[in-house]
Amino acid sequence: MKIKARALRHRVWFKILSKAERAIIDLTIKCVERIRSRILTNVISKILDKILKTLKNNFLDIVNKVGRETVERLCRIAKKWGNKAASSWKYDLVFIRFLGINATNTWMTYK
């Protein structure tokens, strides 16, 4: 149920799942308290893996985008101050993700 809510909130529910996959999840939530069928468990697991992989990639895409924008600004400022090594910051993926996560966790900056 929580994964469905996250998928709806992040707008991936209708983009990545077929009508049949959405129906399977919806009916399982409505009709079953505990899944006993191995076949249904396998089907649900594959659908949930698909959703979680997309949500993870979506988050990383946002972090990378925001991080790259931030590192570009920092590189320009550092070059103006005379830091010659600042241009190499653009290629440091760890630094880009660090800045992106910091920016997305600061809600005023992200929104």
- Going by C-beta distance under 8 Å and a sequence separation of 6 or more, which residues neighbour residue 43? 24
State the pLDDT at residue 91.
92
State the pLDDT at residue 108.
52
Contact 46, 16 (CB under 8 A): no
- Going by C-beta distance under 8 Å and a sequence separation of 6 or more, which residues neighbour residue 86? 74, 75, 78, 79
Number of structural domains the chain divides into: 1
State the pLDDT at residue 75.
94
Question: Tens-of-pLDDT digits for all 111 residues of the chain?
Answer: 788 998 898 888 999 999 999 999 999 999 998 989 999 999 999 999 999 888 887 788 888 899 999 999 999 999 999 998 888 999 999 999 999 888 887 755 544
Range of the domain at 65: 2-110
Nearest to 101 by CA among 72, 60, 71, 73: 60
